[in-house]
Amino acid sequence: MSSTTKTLELLAHFSTSRPEIGLSQLCRLAKRDKATTYRHLQALEETGFLERNPVSKKYRLGPIVLQLARTREATVPRKAGVEAPLVALAGATGETSHVTVLSGKTVYALASCESPRHGTRAIIDIETFPLHATASGLCALAFGPTDLMAFAQKNLCGFTAMTPTTAQELENIVGTIRATGFGCANRSYEDEVLGLSAPVFDQTGHYAGAVSVASVAARFTPDLKRIIQEHLVIAARDITRNWGGTLPPQIEEAWAKTLSHSNTLDTAS
């Protein structure tokens, strides 16, 4: 791993829930040496990726990332095409909805939207999604580049008792997803959360990301599952269209087939 990679990985520890980090704290989070981390922080500071909070002396993200984000969005307008379908999806299902994008071998959160319908709801506070344990990640394995599966199988860490930890388990799950057209992660990443997702495609015709609904497992029913799936289809179609892509016919067929007899499927599928 290059020095640059290690440096840039430090930025992943900043989030809305932990927006400012001091040197020692970051060393613990990243499990790194203090001197090294300090030099890394200095490099990030002098390039504008981090700045110091003048009062707390801690480090926080710098203004340059706003600049880069604007360029990215101007280059690949993704975020703008997601807002409306996402709000509609959260409203229709009453559950937290989010969109992820696949870049290289990593699944990133792009946007998320909570529904106020229930007091308890799933919170999407991670930046990158494990391939084997989340609905979005499984969707990428099922419909994304074929070399992703081999990569995922090298890192089958268990998050809950339900997390698939063998290559065979994972293959089976992905096979089901290919057949149904919907990613499903039943308490495999967090104990109380059940995720459902549908793939989204871009103008190159490749898998681009997934739109997902994270439901509280305790209130999940076959009825809710069907409602979520129906609206996932709508959202996936909308977003795919907004991104200039088209849905492969086999995806549409899988969806149609799944929905036509979804009442006969149980929630564990």
Q: Toward DNA, which CB reaches closer, 33 or 223?
A: 33
Task: Kindly tell me which residue out of 24, 53, 67, 263 binds DNA, with binding defined by CB under 7 A.
Answer: 24
Residue 106 interaction partner, one of DNA, its own copies, none, beta carbon < 5-8 Å per kind: its own copies
State in angstroms the smallest separation of the CB of 48 from its own copies: 5
Task: Kindly tell me which residue out of 57, 117, 206, 257 binds its own copies, with binding defined by CB under 8 A.
Answer: 206
Question: Residue 69 to residues 17, 66, 78, 84: CA-CA distances in angstroms?
Answer: 20, 5, 11, 20
Task: Kindly tell me which residue out of 115, 246, 262, 269 binds its own copies, with binding defined by CB under 8 A.
Answer: 246
Quick note: the x/- pattern for its own copies over 68-107, rule CB under 8 A, is: xxxxxxxxx-xx-x--x----------------x-xx-x-
| Of 192, 182, 188, the residue nearest 235 (C-alpha) | 182
Contact segment (CB under 7 A) with DNA among 31-39, 162-170, 180-188, 252-260 equals: 31-39
The interface with DNA within residues 140-169 (CB under 7 A) comprises none
Q: Is 4 in the site for DNA (CB under 7 A)?
A: yes
What the block records as the tokens of 199 is 């793939």
Cβ atoms within 10 Å of 258's Cβ, excluding its own: 18
Residue 224 interaction partner, one of DNA, its own copies, none, beta carbon < 5-8 Å per kind: none
The interface with its own copies within residues 146-175 (CB under 8 A) comprises none
What the block records as the tokens of 162 is 């339900």
Four-CA torsion 54, 59, 63, 69, nearest 10 degrees:
-160
Residues in contact with DNA by the rule CB under 7 A: 1-4, 6, 22-25, 32-36, 38-41, 57-58
Residues contributing to the site for its own copies (CB under 8 A): 2-5, 7-9, 11, 14-16, 19-20, 39-40, 43-49, 51, 54-55, 60-76, 78-79, 81, 84, 101, 103-104, 106, 108-110, 127, 203-206, 241-246
